[in-house]
Every structure is written in C-alpha cells, then in structure tokens.
C-alpha cells in the first residue's frame, strides 16, 4: 500500500551538538507516531546523519536555499515544518557580514506552493529592530507560525501595535515537548548511580543537587559553586543531613572555554573538600536523563534564555528545580507549571537551595505539580497533536484559501 505524502522537517539534526538538533530528533519521533501512514523526513545541514535525512543545507553559499527548494519540490510534501533559529540559516559573506536571515525569507518564497509551518525557537519579549521586521515577514510568508509561550504572542501584539503594524493572526502557541517515558522510581536510583559510576566516589552523598547540561558562559555555574560551602553548613545545621553538588556536562562552543575552565577549577576545589563532584559527559540521549534522575533537585542559574531543552528534561523527570527570573520562557513555564522556585539575586538563590534541601514536602509538591503539567500540557503526545492541528490549518489556508484567524490571548 502506497504511503501518503511525506512530512518534511527542516532543521539542524543529529549528530550536531545543538539543542534544536536534539529537539527535532525527538519531535520527529512523536510526529511519526501521530502519522504512521506518512514518512517523516528531515532536510538538515550538511553534518546531519540518519535514515530519511537529507544533509544539504550549506549556508556558506549566498543562495543556500535553492537546493533545498529543489528537493522539497521533488518530495512534494504534505506539509513543510521548519525549526527556526537565526544562526541556523544565517549566511555570512566574505567580509564577515551576515544577511540577517534574508536568505530564509527568500527560501519561504521559493516553496510557497506547499503548506508551511515555522517554529521559531527565539522570540524575545523585547525585540531588536531586525527581529521585528523578520518576524513580521515570517508571519506574512508562512501559513502557521508556532510560538512556545503565550507571553511571546501578547508581547508581540504590544510591539507591533506601537509601530502601527497589524498583528498577525496565524500564530499558534505550542510549548516545548517533554517525554513521559523517562522516569525512575526512588528504588531504581541506586542502580542508576552504579551504572553511572557514582557509587565509586566514597564521599558522595545520596542527597545531590544537580547542575546538569551544556557548560556555557551564560549558564553561570559559578553563582552556585561560589557559595556552596555556606549553603551546606546551613543545611547540615537545620537538618543534620549531608548534601553534595553534582555538576555534570561538557563544553560545546570554543568561545566558552575560558569560563568552562574557571567553572571546573572552582569545582575541583570543592571536590578536594569532599562536597562536590564534576562528571564529564555529552548531554544528549538517555544519559542526560539518568544524570538528572539521580539528583534530588536541579539548579539552572542561567543569565540568558537558552534552557528550554534542559527544562524539558527536568519536567520529563518531574524534578523540582530553581532557576533565574525574570527570564522569559523559563519564568513563564515555572509559573505555569508551579514546579520550580525562582531567584533574582545570589542571596535568593542561596535561600531557595537551602529551603528546597530542607523541605522534603515542598520537593514532593513541586514534583507532583510537574507531573500534572507534563501529563496535561507538554507531553510530546499532546504536542504532536497540536502539530497535527497546525498542519491542518496550514493546508486549509494553502489548498482551500481559508484564512487563519487565531484570537489574541489578551
């Protein structure tokens, strides 16, 4: 029996060290489950690999999009679903000047006979001028645009109306998906620790606070490590319990090597005192989940909006967490899920870590809240159905000429 027209995803892809590549890999898995009658194919950058993957995006060329448009016409897809991040589609000329994603807009125009859904992963609340223009043009040229959070849409409405621009009516809210099949009971944690080699570390406590993920300058692990000793003393004083810091991950961008080395040095000092441990690993796949699973709670002391993938894994594991605010999507999902605590300065972080370590009932409540949020709002199964709905609207607009009119949130 012949299969229906394929769904074509356009994105960075495995094995690239890239959060969107990992995101696309997971999204593809669940879209495929939602559409067993269709192939879900990927057009990726030239470093992509795998079955059904066409690694042909090479932005070193000014008209990088022409081979992609040609391939799409040949595939004749049911829908084209594009994961967008500015850096993924930026052409930089021989002077070192970027095109501000002009090539991406040209690309959309070259495939406009097909239903197009674009999922931008960066839509800041306060946009730069070129971002305002890009998003306006994106909403004009795509059939459906998917934002991750409600605040992005109502904030864009304010931004555009202040300029006298018409607010796009084709923006849907589809949160970052999270898995429901990556969870371990308390009784399974010792086995996980053994598998990861953590049981070989003599001093390591059963009570672990986690700093887990890609190590970058903006992740600011040093905020927590600089006061970890004081935090431990207070926890011990209040509860009599021993806690340790588990910092796990690795660097992926050479530009961040300096801060990476500084973070490691501070951890080495704590390791020698027997109150922390650094574990080097590549944060992707099963081990990423396992490393978080062994922690009682996670701290995300980031100073930039780059953590949605890490947060998706925290939600998948129902792990209580502490993160920086105000920080757009992180703050929004923390408020919506009621699964984490927020801090705005070092003293607040110190107090929140102590509070969460000392209050088992609070950890349990936050975990239950995340479990509910995962099940009812952000599980990949739910998100895949939202994609299916987006595809339906995109096809109705492109094929039947039916105008899209998603209402404003406020």
- CA dist., res. 131 & res. 123, Å (int): 8
- Same domain assignment for residues 396 and 253: no
- Residue 377 CB contacts under 8 Å (≥ 6 apart), including other chains: 175, 336, 337
- Same domain assignment for residues 333 and 384: no
Q: Is 254 a member of any domain?
A: yes
Match 């795509």 to its residue by tokens. Answer: 142
The CATH number of residue 191's host domain is 3.40.50.2000
- Same domain assignment for residues 344 and 223: yes
- Same domain assignment for residues 193 and 51: no
Residue 301 phi, psi (nearest 5): -85, 55
Residue 308: which of 277, 282, 334, 286 has the closest Cα? 334
- CA dist., res. 76 & res. 233, Å (int): 63
Quickly list H helices, 35-117. Answer: 65-75, 102-110
For Cα atoms 400, 391, 135, give the angle at the middle one, nearest 5 degrees: 95
Q: Is 41 a member of any domain?
A: yes
- Same domain assignment for residues 359 and 254: yes
Q: Hey, which bits of 133-237 come out as E strands?
A: 144-147, 171-173, 208-215
Tokens of 84: 């967008």
Say which DSSP state 202 is in.
T
- CA dist., res. 5 & res. 37, Å (int): 9
- The alpha carbon torsion through 329, 116, 49, 32 (nearest 10 deg) reads 80
Q: Is 2 a member of any domain?
A: no
Per-residue pLDDT of the chain (410 residues; tens, 9 = 90+): 457 999 999 999 999 999 999 999 999 999 999 999 999 999 999 999 999 999 999 999 999 999 999 999 999 999 999 999 999 999 999 999 999 999 999 999 999 999 999 999 999 999 999 999 999 999 999 999 999 999 999 999 999 999 999 999 999 999 999 999 999 999 999 999 999 999 998 888 999 999 999 998 989 999 999 999 999 999 999 999 999 999 999 998 889 999 999 999 999 999 999 999 999 999 999 999 999 999 999 999 999 876 688 999 999 999 999 999 999 999 999 999 999 999 999 999 999 999 999 999 999 999 999 999 999 999 999 999 999 999 999 999 999 999 999 998 77
Q: Which residues of 123-145 are buried (b: 16+ CB within 10 A; e: fewer)?
A: bebebeeebebbbbbbbebbbbb
Q: Is 408 a member of any domain?
A: no
- Residue 26 CB contacts under 8 Å (≥ 6 apart), including other chains: 177, 179, 380
pLDDT score of 306: 63
- Same domain assignment for residues 372 and 248: yes
pLDDT score of 2: 56
- CA dist., res. 224 & res. 301, Å (int): 8
pLDDT score of 409: 76
pLDDT score of 401: 94
Match 């040095």 to its residue by tokens. Answer: 265
Residue 53: which of 73, 30, 18, 24 has the closest Cα? 24
pLDDT score of 307: 63
- Same domain assignment for residues 334 and 217: yes
- Same domain assignment for residues 335 and 392: no
- CA dist., res. 342 & res. 94, Å (int): 44
Determine the structural domain holding residue 23 and report its residue range: 7-177+380-400
Q: Is 335 a member of any domain?
A: yes
Residue 399 phi, psi (nearest 5): -90, -40
pLDDT score of 254: 87
pLDDT score of 278: 95
- Same domain assignment for residues 72 and 13: yes
- Same domain assignment for residues 21 and 106: yes
Q: Is 304 a member of any domain?
A: yes
Tokens of 190: 């010792």
Residue 138: which of 97, 98, 173, 109 has the closest Cα? 109
- Residue 334 CB contacts under 8 Å (≥ 6 apart), including other chains: 321, 323, 325, 340, 341, 342
- Same domain assignment for residues 238 and 164: no
Output the pTM of the full model: 0.95
Q: How many folded domains does the chain comprise?
A: 2
pLDDT score of 1: 44
Helices (H) and strands (E) in the chain, counts: 15, 13
């Amino acid at each position: 029996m012949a299969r229906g027209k394929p769904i074509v995803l356009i994105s960075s892809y495995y094995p690239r060290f890239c959060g969107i590549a990992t995101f696309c890999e997971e999204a593809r898995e669940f879209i495929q489950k939602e559409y067993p009658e269709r192939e879900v194919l990927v057009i990726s950058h030239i470093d992509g690999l795998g079955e059904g993957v066409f690694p042909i995006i090479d932005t070193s060329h000014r008209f990088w999009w022409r081979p992609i448009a040609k391939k799409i016409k040949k595939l004749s897809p049911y829908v084209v679903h594009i994961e967008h991040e500015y850096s993924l589609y930026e052409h930089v000329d021989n002077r070192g000047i970027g095109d501000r994603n002009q090539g991406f807009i040209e690309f959309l125009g070259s495939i406009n006979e097909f239903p197009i859904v674009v999922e931008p992963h960066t839509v800041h609340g306060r946009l730069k001028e070129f971002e305002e223009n890009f998003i306006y043009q994106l909403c004009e040229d795509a059939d459906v645009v998917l934002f991750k959070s409600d605040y992005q849409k109502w904030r864009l409405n304010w931004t555009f109306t202040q300029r006298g621009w018409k607010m796009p009516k084709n923006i849907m809210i589809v949160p970052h998906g999270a898995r429901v099949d990556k969870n371990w009971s308390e009784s399974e944690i010792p086995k996980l620790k053994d598998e990861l080699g953590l049981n070989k570390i003599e001093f390591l406590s059963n009570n672990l606070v986690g700093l887990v993920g890609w190590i970058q300058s903006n992740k600011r692990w040093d905020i927590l490590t600089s006061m970890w000793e004081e935090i431990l003393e207070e926890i011990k004083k209040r509860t009599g319990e021993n806690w340790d810091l588990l910092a796990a991950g690795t660097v992926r961008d050479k530009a961040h090597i300096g801060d990476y080395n500084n973070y490691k040095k501070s951890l080495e000092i704590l390791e020698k005192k027997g109150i922390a441990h650094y574990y080097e690993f590549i944060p992707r796949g099963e081990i990423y989940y396992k490393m978080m699973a062994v922690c009682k709670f996670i701290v995300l002391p980031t100073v930039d909006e780059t953590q949605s993938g890490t947060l998706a894994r925290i939600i998948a594991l129902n792990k209580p967490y502490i993160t920086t605010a105000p920080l757009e999507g992180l703050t929004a999902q923390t408020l919506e899920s009621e699964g984490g605590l927020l801090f705005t300065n070092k003293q607040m972080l110190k107090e929140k870590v102590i509070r969460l370590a000392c209050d088992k009932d609070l950890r349990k409540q936050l975990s239950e809240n995340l479990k509910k949020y995962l099940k009812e709002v952000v599980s990949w199964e739910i998100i895949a159905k939202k994609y299916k709905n987006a595809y339906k609207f995109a096809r109705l607009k492109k094929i039947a000429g039916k105008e899209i009119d998603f209402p404003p949130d406020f």
